[in-house]
């Protein structure tokens, strides 16, 4: 069986053998040989298609309406991001569709209703570990006036779906990287229209640092 597997190798060898120049007259062919070698080196120097030069030469915009891109549709519940990335429009997952108790105004109505211990019962699980020494408060990010919205330090209302505009106030570097593609990640597909995860898909906004935990698996030494 293994012998049979050599057939490709043998085939290629046959081709190589045909390709060899028959040097009958070495004196004459010396120059020829020299030229061949020089051309060979020149050729390899110019055609050294390293991956870096390939990348540098690839500047044509990808047409998202052709090939593999065409067959991929956007995931469900995405919204258009309010800023463009280098390739134009892109999308992110809607946050509102994931918050089970949205709209907040269904409890937080304008009229005051005093309920004992209400905050503890409804949001008691929330621990704010965000902002270091100057710990953030609920209303640093949640609008006092319109509970269905977030709010920036300057008082601009921010939709939950566009939370990147809120986080980006402090984490502007991360936001820039998120728009470009060095932070966060795409949803399932590298091809097709660009759809990425929202900040809150990976970070718990109330305590955004990843918790220490056991790794999912372990490795044994390589043999």
Partner 1 sequence: MSDKKKQITRRSFLKTAAAATGTATIAGCSGGLLGSSEAFALEFQEYFKEHYRLMTDEERTDTIERLERLSEIKKNTTIDIDSTKPQENVLYGYAFNVTRCEGFMECVDACVKENNLDRESKNQYIRIFEMENGEMLPDQGDGKFFHQVPRKGHFYMGVQCFQCENPPCVKACPTKATWKEKDGIVVVDYDWCIGCRYCMAACPYWGRRFNWNQPQIPKKEVNKKQHYLGNRSRVRGMMEKCTFCIQRSRKGKVTACVEACPTGARVFGNLLDPDSEIRFVLKNKKVYRLKEDLGTDPKFWYFND
Q: Which of 35, 38, 68, 153 binds partner 1 (CB under 8 A)?
A: 68
90: closest CA among 101, 105, 104, 74? Answer: 74
Residue keyed to tokens 């390589």: 222
Residue 76 lies near partner 1 (rule: CB under 8 A): no
| Binding pattern for the stretch 108-147 against partner 1, x by CB under 8 A and - elsewhere | ----------------------------------------
Q: Which of 41, 77, 87, 207 binds partner 1 (CB under 8 A)?
A: 87
Residue 86 lies near partner 1 (rule: CB under 8 A): yes
Judged by beta carbon, residue 42 or residue 182, the one nearer partner 1 is: 182
Residue keyed to tokens 């020149």: 42
End-to-end CA distance of the chain: 27
Q: For the CA atoms of the chain, what is the radius of gyration?
A: 31
User: Omega of the bond prior to 103 within 30 degrees of 0, cis?
Assistant: yes
Residue 181 lies near partner 1 (rule: CB under 8 A): yes
Residue 54 lies near partner 1 (rule: CB under 8 A): yes
* DSSP strand pairing (91-93 vs 150-151): unpaired
Torsions phi, psi of 93, nearest 5?
-70, 135
DSSP assignment, residue 122?
A: H
Judged by beta carbon, residue 160 or residue 178, the one nearer partner 1 is: 178
Residue 44 lies near partner 1 (rule: CB under 8 A): no
Least distance (Å) between residue 217 CB and partner 1: 5
Residue 80 lies near partner 1 (rule: CB under 8 A): no
Judged by beta carbon, residue 76 or residue 213, the one nearer partner 1 is: 213
The span from the CA of 143 to the CA of 119, in Å, is 16
Residue 46 lies near partner 1 (rule: CB under 8 A): no
| CB-based contact 198:165 (threshold 8 Å) | no
Least distance (Å) between residue 200 CB and partner 1: 13
Consecutive H or E run containing 8 = helix 7-19
- Point out which residues bind partner 1 (CB under 8 A): 1-2, 4-10, 12, 14, 17-18, 50-52, 54-55, 58-62, 67-69, 71-72, 85-88, 173, 177, 180-186, 188-192, 197, 202, 210, 212-223
């Amino acid at each position: 069986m293994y012998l049979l597997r050599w057939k490709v190798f043998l085939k290629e060898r046959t081709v190589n053998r045909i390709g060899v120049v028959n040097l009958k007259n070495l004196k004459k062919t010396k120059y020829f040989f020299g030229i061949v070698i020089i051309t060979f080196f020149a050729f390899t120097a110019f055609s050294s298609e390293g991956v870096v030069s390939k990348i540098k030469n690839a500047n044509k915009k990808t047409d998202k309406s052709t090939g593999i891109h065409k067959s991929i549709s956007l995931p469900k519940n995405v919204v258009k991001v309010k800023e463009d990335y280098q390739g134009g429009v892109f999308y992110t997952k809607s946050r509102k569709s994931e918050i089970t108790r949205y709209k907040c105004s269904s409890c937080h109505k304008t009229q005051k209703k005093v309920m004992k211990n209400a905050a503890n019962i409804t949001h008691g699980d929330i621990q704010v570990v965000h902002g270091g020494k100057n710990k953030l408060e609920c209303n640093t990010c949640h609008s006092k006036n319109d509970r269905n919205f977030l709010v920036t330090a300057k008082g601009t209302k921010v939709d939950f779906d566009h939370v990147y505009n809120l986080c980006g106030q402090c984490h502007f570097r991360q936001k820039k990287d998120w728009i470009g593609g060095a932070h966060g990640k795409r949803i399932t597909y590298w091809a097709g229209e660009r759809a990425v995860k929202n900040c809150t898909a990976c970070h718990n906004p109330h305590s955004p640092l990843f918790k220490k935990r056991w790794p999912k698996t372990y490795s044994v030494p390589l043999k």
